[in-house]
Amino acid sequence: MKKFDLILLLAARENLTEVQAARIIKLIFEGFTDALVKGERIEIRGFGSFAMCDYETYTGRNPKTGDRIAVEPKRLPYFKVGKELREKINGSSS
């Protein structure tokens, strides 16, 4: 599913125009982005949670040349699937 598919789905289900649905989706994504930038955790019950993970500097390898390179420290968002979604995907009945 792409962002545009989500907009169309929201517009159809809630009887909104595509422009209104796009504004709502944009607002939600901006809220998620702002929370992650601040280092906050996002939890959506039944779906999953997003958190920021900090990675230290490490020595990597350039796959093309084989040269060793120092990879700078970085922060990346991490998604952990929720129990309900995991059970739906795996076909468990509860």
- Give me the helix-helix angle, 18-37 and 3-14, nearest 10°: 130
Average pLDDT in the 25-52 region?
95
pLDDT, one tens digit per residue, over 42-70 is: 999 999 999 999 999 999 999 999 999 99
Asked if 10 and 20 count as a contact pair (C-beta separation under 8 A), the reply is no
Q: Does the pLDDT value for residue 7 go beyond 60?
A: yes
As its CATH architecture, domain 41-94 has: Irregular (4.10)
Q: What is the pTM of this model?
A: 0.75
Residue 91, amino acid: G
The count of other CB atoms within 10 Å of the CB of residue 7 is 20
Average pLDDT in the 68-83 region?
95
pLDDT for res 35: 96
Rg of the chain taking only CA atoms, in angstroms: 19
Asked if 28 and 42 count as a contact pair (C-beta separation under 8 A), the reply is no
